[in-house]
Amino acid sequence: MDDNYLAWERDYKVAAHRSWNAMLNHQEFMLLLRANKFEEIALRAVRIESRTNLIFSFEKMALRDAVRTKAGAAAFAHGLHDLVYGHGRDEDKFERWCDVVASLPRVKTRVLTWPIVTVFGFIALPRVHFFYKPTVTRVAADMYGYPLHYVSRPSCQSYRHVLDFAALVRRDLSDLKPRDMIDIQSFLWVQGSAEYPD
């Protein structure tokens, strides 16, 4: 495994996942929910994400503003628990999560963005969820020759297309033995980002 890849792309995402497992594992999350500690759940989730560079600073600010009120934190906490630990089909849980994020208070910047709706599932369940930054992922899809249909408003149908693309890339990279969506997202980020020269 390339040391630069680990340092620049993988390690900090794995660290966020480990922090999630320490601070918001299922048992801990349930204890906080039952105690109505919604602000604490939101604080922990936002703190875990804030140690990454996954979402833009204006999105981080919009998210913090959205969960600052008790009502916003409660909606966020219940919705996030359902997304990560709830029962039922992943598609249905993701659709409900999009509805929750759409309902959160908006102070200045909109909260319902693809990075915000996909970052927590990615951190909590990196074997299941893909972190979707549309611009970079679409560039990577174009380079790959994959028709990734983009819709600006997050929905489970559009997310299904993203997951299908990620599954195809994972199959194509099977000889490299990708471990999870962290490896797939990192590969596509390198392909589509201007940060990495040809």
The C-alpha atoms of residue 114 and residue 132 are separated, in whole angstroms, by 6
pLDDT, tens only, 115-157:
999 999 999 999 999 999 999 999 999 999 999 989 999 999 9
**Radius of gyration from C-alpha coordinates of the chain:** 16
CB atoms within 10 A of CB 192: 20
Q: Quick one: pLDDT at residue 195? A: 64
What percent of the chain shows pLDDT beyond 70?
A: 94
CB 196 within 8 A of CB 188: no
Q: Quick one: pLDDT at residue 181? A: 94
Please compute the mean of the pLDDT values over residues 25-45 and round it to a whole number.
Answer: 98
The C-alpha atoms of residue 183 and residue 174 are separated, in whole angstroms, by 11
Quick one: tokens of 195?
A: 């940060």
CB 100 within 8 A of CB 141: no
Encoded amino acid at 57, one letter: S
Quick one: tokens of 69?
A: 């009120």
**Of 94, 97, 53, 59, the residue nearest 186 (C-alpha):** 53
Quick one: tokens of 162?
A: 């993203």
Please compute the mean of the pLDDT values over residues 90-113 and round it to a whole number.
Answer: 92
